[in-house]
A = this chain, B = another copy of it.
Amino acid sequence: MPESRVHFEPLCRFITAAMERLGLPPADAAVVGALMAQAELQGSDGHGVIRLLPYARRIRAGGINLHPEIKVVQERPAMAVLDGDNGMGHLVMQRAAEMAVEKARTCGIGWVGARFSNHAGPASLYARMPMAHDMIGLYFAVGNANHLPPWGGLDMLLSTNPIAVAVPAGAEPPVVLDMATTVAAYGKVKAKAQRGEAMPIGWMIDRLGQPLTDPKRAEEGFLMPIGGYKGYGLSLIVGLLAGTLNGAAMGRDVIDFNHDDVTTTNTGQAVMAIDLSAFGDVADFKARVDRLVRDLRASERMPGVERIWLPGQQSHERRAANERDGIPLPAALLGQLQDFARETGLAPLETIATMKETT
């Protein structure tokens, strides 16, 4: 199957146009388009343009407010809570990150949570935003479908609730952790099923607590939290900080947005910014991060290990490659996007001419 690639700018324009066609005001469509294309650029393909059709379905079903009045409902000098008014999560979280940065500039740290938000793409997008201001960024979110029970239980009351933290470095790429609190994200299970492959032991367990490795039986089991009961605790804590604290959905109130396009999700998320200059000399901090990164990377390796990776380094390299070569899109996804364009009267997504095979 020939590989299809798209450049960032045309992808961004395409998503923006699609969002406008779906009814978002142009400025809002541009924000969502840019953030979804950035997700693709950094290789977060599970949270990028693959979400366009599910978003469209939800928007058409009336499950998203196209003209939200995003407003501050609680505020202190270093924190705020936003009510996203059921708008697109990207709009709510971009606003939250901007406010967290402003607050950190005066207070040293800033924390902005949200309720009545929606799915906003990869966690690292928002954790990365404060870095442009020489700040560390943190992001917490309640996932939009419950995939794990409490440890030892069978009722799926918890989601993959991700954490992302982005720490600026100097000459080195930033350290960017973006992790679900489960061993595998649910998207990886779906991918294994599509390819007809077995899952490794440790990804899922069945209702008897036994390893589940057949991805076609995924509905019979649960995702495993990282570190067993520790990941269960971490998922719960992230949900309390990003959901309960903001008056957003958590536990049994979480809507499975894969199977429900209408009910307001009341998604909860939070962004924190930590201003490096409040803690001391910024250049000195970055130099210490560089030294630490280099020490880790230069570690003696286990047999068979070619390279020590730092968190965020793979997506850093992917971003550079995708900027240069274009963003790879699976043919099936590209087909769906072009069908969507045709149906809605949009110009088709402009792909890069397929290279001739060299012989």
Contacts and interface: CB of A to CB of B under 8 A. Distances in A.
A138 to B, nearest CB: 9
Contacts of A228: 183
Number of copies: 2
A289 interface: yes
A302 interface: yes
Given A76-B275, A285-B245, A299 B150 contact: yes
A328 interface: no
Interface stretch (A37-45, A230-238, A316-324, A329-337): A230-238
B296 A153 contact: yes
Given A107-B76, A237-B167, A279-B113, A207 B154 contact: no
Contact of A77 (B106, B245, B288): B106
B299 A227 contact: no
A175 interface: yes
A252 interface: yes
A215 B183 CA distance: 26
Question: Main SS of chain A's interface residues?
Answer: mixed
Interface string A254-297: 00000000000000000000111011100001001101100111
A208 interface: yes
Residue from A75, A78, A136, A276 with most neighbouring chain B CB atoms (10 Å)? A78
A286 B299 CA distance: 46
A50 interface: no
A312 to B, nearest CB: 9
Given A106-B76, A230-B226, A111 B299 contact: no
Interface string A177-190: 10100010000000
